[in-house]
């Protein structure tokens, strides 16, 4: 019945369309995708990825397989997924969700409140329980941003057993950890069958290798680095670009070292030369589009103040002059370039920074996905990445600003840039649109030709 409804909807959609080729959606074909990072597991509740690229990949792949209760868009609005309605009490400590009727897992088992609770169990943040046909989530703290938390990939709903079973638009056909993933269209998807018959994903392909494969017509969808957006578009290709949703920051070091480093880094120059405009200079943890408080965190270079900061710190706690070590992900070409430039800028204020490729370093250049359009939840995601606790229930601009400052201090974070996520889509793909948060809604895509 659901499949018939989907075909009927497509028929209605086609009525007003011109009849020229490449316009009408069609069923069939394989969508071929290349991704730089690899996944060792498809379980979104696995421990947090070590590298930020893994987190981005997981956030893109998970919705193809497993649905969340809700989706939250770039404006912070909640949209129904497995839950069709919800309400919270005045304190935002108790939430109740009405589940979408008729949803089934891939194996035909019905989605029940008990199945949702089992999937969400074990969370320290809240307690979930079934109340008849409803799901109730209770927390000791006020959580006005709970919808944004539930929309995170790690809170997707699934059944665990010998194999993972979901309700998403695609089901797992084969998975080779770290290498490849092949998906097949889920004919019984509650949202209707996807247009394509399946999706083939290759992991571990560098951005350069992705571009080559794309030019040879071997893949249909690839990633584009923030530093490559300008070049790609200058060649006549249109990149699909999200809002800035990834934080680049230096993490670690003493307070005076972090302050001096922040004053030394020439963000504007790096943004123009290395990133070629595909970023925003960052003085705070959150981008301006999300928090509205970005202007309160300066990004200007002030070498003299940086030198004074170092001297003041040395006067308060005399210690032998030392070289600070700085590392990054050795497999990330952009991170290596940024690390070298940060170390060069640091010398302008008398801070000796040595770039190292392995071992324990004093400072680390990190790329941290913000994960959500909700500023409070995004701060929590950064806190998880750097091992700092962030209060829940943040919503007012003043609260967000103070929480940012506290996170930068307690998490030893020096924000440098906010990067967008970008993609390049081949000529045979239709219907693709990059989510403003960087997600891929591949169930709405279709392909022309074989």
Domain definitions of the chain by residue range: 1-10+28-66+168-220+426-450, 67-163, 242-420
CATH code for residues 67-163: 3.90.76.10
Q: Are 434 and 423 in contact (CB under 8 A)?
A: yes
Beta bridge partners of 165: 159
3.10.105.10, 3.40.50.920, 3.30.460.20, 3.30.70.890: which CATH number matches 242-420? 3.10.105.10
pLDDT at 127: 95
Q: Are 64 and 376 in contact (CB under 8 A)?
A: no
What is the DSSP secondary structure assignment for residue 448, as one 8-state letter? -
Q: How far apart are CA 278 and CA 228, in angstroms?
A: 8
**Tokens (6 digits) for 197:** 């018959």
Taking Cα atoms as reference points, which of 219, 78, 90, 196 lies closest to residue 145? Answer: 78
Which regions of 149-192 does DSSP assign to beta strands (E)? 170-176, 180-185
Q: How far apart are CA 418 and CA 99, in angstroms?
A: 36
CATH code for residues 1-10+28-66+168-220+426-450: 3.40.190.10
**Tokens (6 digits) for 347:** 């010398």
**Tokens (6 digits) for 192:** 């209707």
Cα 278 to Cα 36, 264, 272: the distances in Å are 19, 21, 8
> Kind and range of the H or E element at 269?
helix 267-273
Low-confidence residues of the chain: pLDDT under 70: 1-23, 47-53, 314-321, 450
pLDDT at 88: 97
Which regions of 255-379 does DSSP assign to beta strands (E)? 280-281, 324-327, 353-355, 363-369
Q: Find the DSSP H helices in 223-266.
A: 229-234, 255-264
């Amino acid at each position: 019945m659901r499949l018939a409804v989907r075909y009927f909807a497509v028929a209605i959609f086609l009525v007003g369309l011109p009849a020229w080729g490449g316009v009408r959606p069609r069923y069939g074909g394989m969508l071929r995708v290349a991704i730089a990072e690899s996944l060792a597991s498809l379980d979104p509740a696995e421990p947090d990825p070590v590298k930020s690229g893994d987190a981005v990949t997981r956030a893109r792949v998970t919705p193809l397989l497993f649905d969340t209760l809700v989706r939250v868009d770039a404006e912070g609005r909640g949209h129904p997924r497995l839950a069709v309605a919800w309400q919270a009490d005045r304190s935002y400590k108790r939430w109740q969700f009405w589940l979408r009727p008729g949803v089934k897992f891939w194996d035909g088992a019905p989605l029940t409140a008990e199945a949702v609770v089992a999937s969400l169990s074990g969370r320290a943040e809240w307690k979930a329980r079934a109340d008849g046909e409803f799901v109730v989530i209770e927390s000791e703290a006020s959580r006005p941003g709970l919808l944004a938390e539930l929309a995170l990939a790690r809170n997707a709903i699934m059944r665990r057993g010998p194999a993972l079973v979901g309700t998403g638009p695609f089901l797992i056909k084969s998975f080779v950890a770290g290498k490849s993933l092949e998906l097949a269209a889920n004919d019984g998807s509650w949202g209707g069958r996807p247009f394509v018959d399946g999706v083939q994903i290759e992991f571990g392909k560098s951005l350069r290798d992705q571009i080559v494969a794309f030019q040879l017509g071997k893949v249909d969808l690839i990633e584009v680095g923030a530093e490559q957006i300008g070049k790609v578009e200058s060649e006549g290709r249109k990149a699909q670009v999200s809002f800035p949703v990834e934080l680049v920051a230096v993490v670690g070091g003493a307070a005076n070292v972090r302050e001096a480093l922040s004053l030394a880094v020439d963000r504007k120059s790096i943004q123009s030369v290395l990133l070629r405009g595909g970023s925003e200079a960052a003085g705070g943890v959150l981008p301006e589009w999300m928090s509205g408080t970005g202007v309160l965190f300066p990004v200007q270079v002030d070498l003299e103040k940086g030198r004074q900061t170092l001297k003041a710190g040395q006067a308060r706690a005399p210690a032998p002059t030392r070289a600070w070590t700085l590392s990054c992900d050795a497999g990330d070409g952009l991170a290596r370039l940024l690390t070298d430039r940060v170390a060069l800028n640091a010398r302008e204020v008398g801070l000796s920074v040595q770039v190292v490729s392995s071992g324990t370093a004093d400072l680390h250049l990190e790329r941290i996905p913000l994960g959500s359009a909700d500023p409070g939840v995004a701060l929590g995601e950064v806190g998880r990445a750097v091992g700092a606790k962030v209060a829940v229930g943040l919503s007012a601009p003043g609260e967000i600003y103070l929480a940012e400052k506290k996170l930068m201090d307690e998490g030893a974070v020096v924000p440098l840039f906010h990067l967008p996520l970008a993609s390049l889509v081949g000529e045979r793909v239709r219907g693709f649109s990059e989510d403003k948060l960087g997600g891929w809604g591949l169930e709405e895509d279709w392909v022309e030709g074989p």
